[in-house]
Amino acid sequence: MYNLLWAVFAVAFVLSLASTPLAIKIAPKIGAMDVPKDGRRMHTKSMPRFGGMAIFIGTTVSMLIFMHQEPKVPAIIIGGVLIYILGVTDDLKNLPAKVKFLGQTVIAVIMYMYDVRIEFVSNFFGEGKSELGTVLCFVVTVIWIVGITNTVNLIDGLDGLAAGTSAIASLCIAYVAYIHGMYLACAAMLALAGGALGFLPFNFYPAKIFMGDGGSLYLGFMLSTLSILGPVKSATIVAVIIPVLVLGVPIFDTAFAIFRRMINKRPIMEADKGHLHHRLMKLGYGQRRATLMLYSVSGIMGIAAVTFSRGLWVETLGLFAIAFLMIYIFLTDANHIMPQIKNQAETENKEISAETTKETE
């Protein structure tokens, strides 16, 4: 089993790594280029936006080779194909937000129909699945899949951020599944991690290619559905809390973005520059440093998920507190911000002095 798990990861990693240069060549030929048209973009030149192909190929082929006979896996693979097609279509045609949301919802409903669902809602009402339990199960499953899918899509704003964060989340959930004897969930998450990590060398700052919506939607969808396979033995709310903890940073960022847009009376699906990674960039950390900072917080949240799965509540709360303390420090560190303010003030003083000198002359 141990060697099989390594093989799942290795196949996904190698295929993704080998496919990315091909994606770079294909992108300009099919018009999959990201042109910086607004202030939200962190890049200044056109970039290929077809890297999701590599992640998709690596993950899907690995799962087809090693897990095609497992229950629910074929359905998830089909859902992954559909969500990837939706994402690529958006990359090429720039679909309206409502159309993308509708497409994601339909795919989530299809997953529910194929029995890829969060069961604990029904179980909460007893062994017999009551009508109320079934309705709640349906609603929670659809919200979960659509929510996590968009969560990963929204953090895809810095080089390597979405791919690295997804890889960290996948590896942490895989480890939790492994120590609890859920080898199918472990293998599936390792396939996803391999696909993301194979793409990362080309996507980390300075990026040679972006994953596009095809990649970010696929990563989010696979994280949401594969985690439903169950990282712990009992089908309870614990199985959902674990991926929530692992994805704590992007989930918090998404929730805050929705709240921020509602307060400002802006459309919820409207893009802005208020995300956590945008705020770090405004403070002058740079893409590489900001990405690594968010990696570190995601890693701590991943460890918190592991301790939670083992019933170590105090340790989990401690790690959770450390993660949010790190975010607070990153955003409010006076020692980092003050030199910037000082340099800005010096620049303004020089400009004023130059203007004064000209007037005197």
Give the tens place of pLDDT for each residue, 142-180.
999 999 999 898 888 889 999 999 999 999 999 988 988
User: What is the rounded CA–CA span in Å between residue 210 and residue 34?
Assistant: 8
**CA dist., res. 3 & res. 43, Å (int):** 41
21-42: b or e for each residue (b if 16 or more CB lie within 10 Å)? eebbeebeeeebbbeeeeeeeb
- Contact, 233 vs 177, CB < 8 A? no
Q: Name the token pair of 156.
A: 């895809």
Q: Is the pLDDT of residue 16 over 60?
A: yes
d(CA 172, CA 253): 20
Locate 150 and state its tokens. 């968009």
Mean pLDDT of 178-203: 94
CB contact at 8 A, 274 and 257: yes
Between the alpha carbon of residue 228 and those of residues 189, 244, 287, the distances in Å are: 11, 12, 33
Q: What are phi and psi of 210, to 5 degrees?
A: -105, 155
Q: Does 128 have pLDDT greater than 70?
A: no
% of the chain exceeding 70 in pLDDT:
81
For the chain, state the CA radius of gyration.
22
pLDDT of 358 reads: 45
Q: How far apart are CA 181 and CA 133, in angstroms?
A: 28
pTM of structure = 0.86
Report CA torsion sign: 16, 185, 316, 249. positive
Statement: residue 107 has pLDDT above 90: yes
Read off the tokens for 179.
């120590």
CA proximity to 6, closest of 181, 151, 149, 191: 191
Enter the DSSP assignment of 217: H
pLDDT greater than 80 at residue 11: yes
> What pLDDT digit, counting tens, does each position of 245-285 carry?
888 888 888 787 778 777 877 776 666 677 787 788 888 78
**How far apart, in Å, do the first and last CA atoms of the chain sit?**
83
Q: Is the peptide bond before 339 cis (omega within 30 degrees of 0)?
A: no
d(CA 16, CA 168): 17
pLDDT at 343: 53
Compute the CA torsion angle 58, 201, 162, 24 (nearest 10 deg). -70
